[in-house]
Amino acid sequence: MRVKMHGAVQKVYGLGFVLHFCAGVKYMYTTEHNNGVLPHFTRTRIAPTPSGYLHMGNVLSFAVTATLAKQTGAVILLRVDDMDRERVQPAYVQDIFDTLRFMDIPWQEGPENAAAFEATWSQQYRMALYNQALEQLRQMNAVYACGCSRAQLLAVNGIGCAGNCRQQQLPLDAAQVNWRLKTDNIREVTLRTLTGTHTEAFPAEMKDFVVRKKDGYPAYQLSSVIDDVHFGVDLIVRGKDLWQSTLAQLGLAAQLNAKDFTATCFVHHDLIKDASGEKLSKSAGATSIQYLRKQGATAEALYNSIGKLLQAEAEIHNREGLGNAVLYG
């Protein structure tokens, strides 16, 4: 299947709202790569967050992941990232399982349902692993305490510490402080993709990023790395909006000497964006799969609608068709 990649705004037929597909894939893959054979991987994962109802952008990423997993022999782990405790709701957890099954997204490892997730698979049960990594960073003198307020951080666009917390040497055990990773010695990181190994400069936007939040919970960048190492993930598929997070996580993994993570293969795919050019997000109120399902949309119709956003020459009817369109356009 060939896909015309344009930036034009497209009407999603039958669904009553406008989106467009962001053109310009960072890496485009062909089946001829590596003499016609993709590498073999052991495990990939889908990692939704129960902070809102899943939307078409989530489905896009899941479909690409499932397609690559099938083509590379990887099993799919369902990992629900519930560390943002203030935003987690039981209804959002249930929606993950409902949406995955409705859209025919497979997984072979992880919780089968919401009850199993709450019983044994929540990130709460892996706090010892996260705390061990945080203690390792503390012993290495690789982190410092930051007491900057949200308003102070907004003043510097959320990049690094807004003040001189590092020079003040605030106690790491003080109340209401973030732990920030000292990134000044991370000049570049090595990234493995399906097209080879690349060296990338460490992004300035991720300067001294947070690894432990003021509430005492690990930040996303740390918990994600530790989980991927813990579960033996060697193929990570994610949107291009997480490109800088990938580089930050590789820098963190190098500090922790997590060689399994630094050897992981990454695939970054394009995003579905709304009419204003912003990526679909739960916080911005993106139309959920749950809502569309209740309005009578079928999984095939939703896949076909995403295909229209891609301006695919042929109709897309299922997740594999969508995954192939994104990967091999």
Q: Is residue 25 in a domain?
A: no
CB neighbour burial string for 183-212, b if at least 16 within 10 angstroms, e if fewer: beebeebebbebeeeeeeebbeebbbbbbb
- Token representation of residue 77: 């782990």
Q: Is residue 280 in a domain?
A: no
Instruction: Identify the domain containing residue 118 by its residue range.
Output: 36-274
Q: Is residue 31 in a domain?
A: no
**Strand partners of residue 239:** 269
CA distance 191 to 46: 20
Q: Is residue 99 in a domain?
A: yes
Q: Is residue 183 in a domain?
A: yes
Q: Is residue 81 in a domain?
A: yes
Would you say 290 and 53 are in contact if contact means Cβ atoms under 8 Å apart? yes
Question: At CA 68, angle to CA 117 and CA 300, rounded to 5?
Answer: 75
Q: Is residue 321 in a domain?
A: no
Q: What is the CATH number of the domain that holds 251?
A: 3.40.50.620
The total of structural domains in the chain comes to: 1
- pLDDT tens string, the chain, 329 residues long: the values are 333 333 333 333 333 333 333 333 333 444 444 445 799 999 999 999 999 999 999 999 999 999 999 999 999 999 999 999 889 999 999 999 999 999 999 999 999 999 999 999 999 999 999 999 999 999 999 999 999 988 888 887 778 898 889 999 999 999 999 999 999 999 999 999 999 999 999 999 999 999 999 999 999 999 999 999 999 999 999 999 999 999 999 999 999 999 999 999 999 998 886 666 666 666 555 689 999 999 999 999 999 988 887 777 789 999 999 999 988 87
Q: Is residue 313 in a domain?
A: no
